Amino acid sequence: MLVRRLQTTRVDLSHAGMGDQLGALLAACLADLPCMRALSLRDNRLTDAALLPVVRAIRRRNDLQELDLSENVCGGGAAAELAAYFSDRGVCLRTLMLSAADLDDGEASKFVEQLRHNTSLTHLDLSRNLIGKQESVNYVNPAFYTGAEALADWLAMPQCRLRHLDVSWNTIRLGSAISFGEALARNASLHTLLLGYNGFGAAGGEAIGAALCRNTALRKMDLTANSISPRAAVVIAEGLIANKGLREVALGQNPLGKQGARWVTRLPGEMVGEGGGGALDIDVSGSNFQIEDTRCWFDDDKVKLKLKCLLRWALHTRQ
Which CATH number does the domain housing residue 257 bear? 3.80.10.10
More confident residue, 234 or 272: 234
Estimate to the nearest angstrom the gap between the alpha carbon of 177 and the chain centroid: 12
Mean pLDDT of 28-48: 93
Cα separation, 233 vs 118, in Å, equals 35
Cα separation, 101 vs 72, in Å, equals 5
- Structural domain contains residue 262: yes
What digits encode the pLDDT tens for the residues 87-113? 888 889 999 999 999 999 999 998 899
Give Cβ neighbours of residue 157 (< 8 Å, ≥ 6 apart).
116
Q: Which of 126, 11, 24 is nearest to 79 (CA)?
A: 126
Is 109 in contact with 146 (CB distance < 8 Å)? yes
Q: With a cut of 50, say whether residue 151 has pLDDT above it.
A: yes
Domain count, the chain: 1
Q: With a cut of 90, say whether residue 150 has pLDDT above it.
A: yes
Q: With a cut of 70, say whether residue 145 has pLDDT above it.
A: yes
More confident residue, 264 or 205: 205
Kindly report whether the global pTM for this prediction surpasses the value 0.75. yes
Give Cβ neighbours of residue 110 (< 8 Å, ≥ 6 apart).
76, 79, 80, 82, 83
- Structural domain contains residue 92: no
User: Angle CA(34)–CA(36)–CA(40) in degrees, nearest 5?
Assistant: 140
What digits encode the pLDDT tens for the residues 158-167? 999 999 999 9
According to the model, what pLDDT value does residue 269 have? 54
According to the model, what pLDDT value does residue 33 have? 87
Q: With a cut of 90, say whether residue 67 has pLDDT above it.
A: yes
Count Cα neighbours of 86 within 13 Å in the Cβ-side half-sphere: 24
Cα-Cα-Cα-Cα dihedral sign, residues 135, 137, 140, 142: negative
Q: Which of 257, 192, 264 is nearest to 227 (CA)?
A: 257
Cα separation, 279 vs 149, in Å, equals 32
According to the model, what pLDDT value does residue 272 have? 45
- Structural domain contains residue 43: no
Q: How many CB atoms lie within 10 A of CB 7?
A: 6
According to the model, what pLDDT value does residue 312 have? 47
Mean pLDDT of 115-141: 90
Residue 222: phi and psi, rounded to 5, are -120, 115
According to the model, what pLDDT value does residue 180 have? 93
Give Cβ neighbours of residue 51 (< 8 Å, ≥ 6 apart).
23, 69, 72, 74, 75, 77, 78, 81
According to the model, what pLDDT value does residue 117 have? 84
According to the model, what pLDDT value does residue 273 have? 41
- Structural domain contains residue 67: no
Looking at residue 209, its amino acid is G
The residue range of the domain holding 228 is 158-319
More confident residue, 4 or 178: 178
Average pLDDT of the residues of the chain: 87
According to the model, what pLDDT value does residue 258 have? 87
- Structural domain contains residue 107: no
The three state secondary structure string of the chain is CCCCCCCCCEEECCCCCCHHHHHHHHHHHHCCCCCCCEEECCCCCCCHHHHHHHHHHHHCCCCCCEEECCCCCCCHHHHHHHHHHHCCCCCCCCEEECCCCCCEHHHHHHHHHHHCCCCCCCEEECCCCECCCCHHHHHHCCCCCCHHHHHHHHHCCCCCCCCEEECCCCCCEHHHHHHHHHHHHHCCCCCEEECCCCECHHHHHHHHHHHHCCCCCCCEEECCCCCCCHHHHHHHHHHHHHCCCCCEEECCCCCCHHHHHHHHHHHHHHHHHCCCCCCCEEECCCCCCCCCCCCCCCCHHHHHHHHHHHHHHHHHHHC
Give Cβ neighbours of residue 299 (< 8 Å, ≥ 6 apart).
none
- Structural domain contains residue 150: no
- Structural domain contains residue 141: no
- Structural domain contains residue 61: no
